Amino acid sequence: MSATIKNYNDVLDMLDDLLREPKEFWENFYENRDKDIPFFKVKGPDENLVEFFDILNAPKKVLEIGCGPGRNAIYMSKKGCNIDALDISENAIEWAKDRAEVEKVKINFHCKSLFDFSYEPNSYDFIYDCGMLHHLAPHRRLTYLEIVKNALKPNGHFGLVCFNTNGALDTTDWEVYKSGSLKRGIGYSEERLKDIFKDDFNFINFREMKKIEQPSDVFGEDFLWVSLLQLK
């Protein structure tokens, strides 16, 4: 890191340095596949993703950001999508590749941070994020939003699953930097989450995820918001 802040990227790098290093954090998180984490045990897609695919007109080109062990990417691939699935963690991508092989589906996996990902602008019909946004540092949310907007086709759709205030504390952006910690993620109120997206997107739906008792073909926990949005 340079001694002088010379541009906006230097500010982002400086703020990154105040918080945990995401790649190391996520590699450790996925080291043991038998951990007692709700989405580790379920192979099926999010219950809301199945609903989104009933509403959407068969999206062809799809990007999943923070795909983890690949539950949702595998579902979308089986639905006929040409899918780029991206995750910062090699352990997660290895796990997702193992599952894709068992399920005999072809997915373009990318082990990359979203912020280093090269994509063709305005090329995706649908972008999906289950569980990544609430783990991002507040200053990276701005870049996240720019990438999602630039990568989508005009009027493209965006699907989001994100902690509500039962999923994690409603920590303000200021508190994150003052305490130097993202803790276990940011829990968003409905108002706060809508405020982030409302200038650029129309909300097709916004609701709490349904809690699904396991074993089931789908995943659902009620400490999450789910939303389908369309680029304005």
Ligand X SMILES: C[S@@+](CC[C@H](N)C(=O)[O-])C[C@H]1O[C@@H](n2cnc3c(N)ncnc32)[C@H](O)[C@@H]1O
Say whether residue 209 binds ligand X (CB under 6 A): no
Q: Report the residue number, 131 or 159, with the smaller CB distance to ligand X.
A: 131
Say whether residue 176 binds ligand X (CB under 6 A): no
- For 179, the token pair is 């305490």
Q: Report the residue number, 131 or 187, with the smaller CB distance to ligand X.
A: 131
Residues whose CB is less than 8 angstroms from the CB of residue 162 and which lie 6 or more positions away in sequence, other chains included: 129, 131, 133, 134, 188, 193, 224, 225, 227
Say whether residue 143 binds ligand X (CB under 6 A): no
Q: How many CB atoms lie within 10 A of CB 35?
A: 10
* Inter-residue contact 168 to 185 (CB < 8 Å): yes
Q: Minimum CB separation from ligand X for residue 4, in Å?
A: 26
* Inter-residue contact 19 to 182 (CB < 8 Å): yes
* Inter-residue contact 115 to 192 (CB < 8 Å): no
Which residue's CB comes closest to ligand X?
A: 68
List the x/- string, 59-98, binding to ligand X by CB under 6 A.
-------xxxx-x--------------xxxx--x------
Q: Report the residue number, 130 or 154, with the smaller CB distance to ligand X.
A: 130
Chain residues in the site for ligand X (CB under 6 A): 22, 26, 39, 66-69, 71, 86-89, 92, 113-115, 130-132, 135
